[in-house]
Chains A and B, each alone.
Chain A
Amino acid sequence: MNTEASALSIEHLHAGYEKHRVLIDVNLAVARGEWVALLGPNASGKTTLLHCVVGMMAPAVGAITVCGQSLRSNPAGAKGKLGFACAPERLPGLLTGRQCLEIYAAAKGLSSIGADVLELAERFQYLPMLDRFVDAYSLGTRQKLAVLLALLGDPELVVLDEAFNGLDPASALALKHFLRERVSQGKCSVLLATHALDIVERYADRAALLLNGRIAHEWRKDELAAMRATSEEGFEAALAAAAVEAEGN
Chain B
Amino acid sequence: MSLSSSGGLPGWLRARPFLLAGTLRWLNIHRRYRFLLPLGVVLLLAAAGLLTLPYVGHILEAAAQFPLTSFTSLVAACAIATTHRKTRIRRSLIDSWLAPLAAPSSVVLRMLLPPFVQILLLASGIAIPLLAGTLSWRGAVSLWLTVGAAYLVGSFIGWFSHQGSPAGAPAFHYVTVRKPREKWAQAPRLEPLSYWAIGQARAIAKPRVAANAMLLVLVAIPLGTPGQQAIAIAAGGWVLLYVASLFIATVRVAFNATRWLAITNISYLKLSAALGYRVVLAQLWVWGWVVFLTYAAALPGALRVGLPLLLLFLFLTCAVILAASRVAMKAVGMRSP
- Chain A residues within 8 Å of B, Cβ to Cβ: 17-18, 48, 51, 54-58, 75-80, 82-84, 86, 90-92, 94-96, 98-108, 112-113, 118, 133, 146, 149
CB distance from A48 to the nearest CB of B (A): 8
Q: Which residue of A lies closest to B102 (CB)?
A: A79
By a CB distance below 8 angstroms, the chain A residues around B15 are 106-107
User: Quick check: is B222 within 8 A (CB to CB) of the other chain?
Assistant: no
A-B contact pairs, 25 of them (CB 8 A): A17-B166, A17-B168, A17-B169, A51-B168, A54-B99, A58-B167, A79-B100, A86-B99, A86-B100, A91-B97, A92-B21, A92-B25, A92-B97, A94-B25, A95-B24, A95-B28, A96-B5, A98-B3, A98-B5, A100-B97, A102-B6, A103-B17, A104-B98, A106-B15, A108-B101
- Could you tell me if B170 and A102 are in contact, using CB atoms closer than 8 angstroms? no
By a CB distance below 8 angstroms, the chain B residues around A112 are 3
Closest 6 CB pairs of A and B: A79-B102, A107-B103, A107-B17, A57-B168, A84-B100, A76-B102
Candidates B3, B14, B29, B94; contact of A101 at CB < 8 Å: B3
- Could you tell me if A90 and B1 are in contact, using CB atoms closer than 8 angstroms? no
Q: Mark B85-104, 1 if CB is under 8 A from A, else 0.
A: 00000000011111111110
By a CB distance below 8 angstroms, the chain A residues around B103 are 107-108
User: Quick check: is B4 within 8 A (CB to CB) of the other chain?
Assistant: yes
- Could you tell me if B24 and A82 are in contact, using CB atoms closer than 8 angstroms? no
- Could you tell me if A133 and B100 are in contact, using CB atoms closer than 8 angstroms? no
Q: Mark B1-28, 1 if CB is under 8 A from A, else 0.
A: 1011110000000110100110011001
CB distance from A155 to the nearest CB of B (A): 10
- Could you tell me if B28 and A96 are in contact, using CB atoms closer than 8 angstroms? yes
Give the one of A78, A98, A100, A103 with max B CB within 10 A.
Answer: A103
Candidates B3, B24, B168; contact of A113 at CB < 8 Å: B3
Asked, given contacts A17-B166, A80-B102, A86-B97, whether A106 binds B20 with beta carbons under 8 Å apart, the answer is: yes
- Could you tell me if A57 and B98 are in contact, using CB atoms closer than 8 angstroms? no
Majority-rule SS of B interface residues: loop
User: Quick check: is B32 within 8 A (CB to CB) of the other chain?
Assistant: yes
CB distance from A38 to the nearest CB of B (A): 17
- Could you tell me if A55 and B100 are in contact, using CB atoms closer than 8 angstroms? yes
By a CB distance below 8 angstroms, the chain B residues around A83 are 100
By a CB distance below 8 angstroms, the chain A residues around B14 are 106
CB distance from B15 to the nearest CB of A (A): 7
By a CB distance below 8 angstroms, the chain A residues around B101 are 79, 104, 107-108
- Could you tell me if A56 and B25 are in contact, using CB atoms closer than 8 angstroms? no
CA distance A75 to B101 in the complex (A): 10
CA distance A103 to B21 in the complex (A): 7
- Could you tell me if A103 and B24 are in contact, using CB atoms closer than 8 angstroms? yes
Asked, given contacts A75-B102, A108-B103, whether A18 binds B169 with beta carbons under 8 Å apart, the answer is: yes
CB distance from A145 to the nearest CB of B (A): 10
CA distance A82 to B17 in the complex (A): 17
CA distance A46 to B169 in the complex (A): 16
CA distance A92 to B28 in the complex (A): 11
Asked, given contacts A98-B3, A107-B101, whether A56 binds B94 with beta carbons under 8 Å apart, the answer is: yes
CA distance A95 to B21 in the complex (A): 8
- Could you tell me if A82 and B25 are in contact, using CB atoms closer than 8 angstroms? no
Using A57-B167, A103-B24 as known contacts, list a sample of 20 further A-B pairs with CB atoms less than 8 Å apart, ordered by residue number in A: A51-B168, A54-B99, A56-B94, A56-B99, A57-B168, A58-B168, A78-B102, A83-B100, A94-B25, A94-B32, A95-B21, A99-B24, A102-B5, A103-B17, A104-B17, A107-B101, A108-B102, A108-B103, A112-B3, A118-B1
CA distance A118 to B1 in the complex (A): 9
From 245 to 269 in chain B, residues with beta carbon under 8 angstroms from any chain A beta carbon are none
Give the one of A77, A79, A94, A100 with max B CB within 10 A.
Answer: A94
By a CB distance below 8 angstroms, the chain B residues around A108 are 101-103
By a CB distance below 8 angstroms, the chain A residues around B3 are 98, 101-102, 105, 112-113
Asked, given contacts A80-B102, A95-B25, A108-B103, whether A17 binds B170 with beta carbons under 8 Å apart, the answer is: yes
- Could you tell me if A106 and B17 are in contact, using CB atoms closer than 8 angstroms? yes
CB distance from A84 to the nearest CB of B (A): 4
By a CB distance below 8 angstroms, the chain B residues around A101 are 3
Asked, given contacts A79-B102, A96-B28, whether A102 binds B95 with beta carbons under 8 Å apart, the answer is: no
By a CB distance below 8 angstroms, the chain B residues around A55 are 99-100
